[in-house]
Amino acid sequence: MSVLEEQDYQENNKLHRMLSKAFNHGYKMQRDKPKFAKKLSKCFPNKEHPYAEGFLSGMKEYTQERRQIELLNDRFLQEQRQLDQQQRSRDY
C-alpha cells in the first residue's frame, strides 16, 4: 500500500469511527432524552458535518424503530381484541 493509500485509509477509518460514535450518541440521546436530543440537534451549525450527520441519523433510526414497534403493538392488540370478541361470541 502506498503512502497516499495508507493516508486515505486512515482518513476513511477516522471518518467511519466518528460517524459511528455520532450515530450511537444520537440514537441513545433520542431514546433517553428526546427533548434534549431535539434541542441539541438544532445547535449544529453545519448539518453536513460528519458528526451532525451521524447524530441526526441515529435520532432518525431510533424514531423509525419506535414507530415500527408501536405499529406492531397496535396490530397485536387489535388482533387480540378480535380474537377475544370471537371467543365471546362462541361462548354465547
Element (H, E) at 54: helix 50-91
pLDDT score at 23: 97
Mean residue pLDDT across the chain: 91
Single-letter residue type at 3: V
The mean pLDDT value for 49-73 works out to: 95
Q: What is the pTM of this model?
A: 0.76
Cβ-proximal residues to 63 (8 Å cutoff; 6+ apart), any chain? 30
3-state secondary structure of 12: helix
The mean pLDDT value for 3-30 works out to: 89
pLDDT at 91 over 90: no
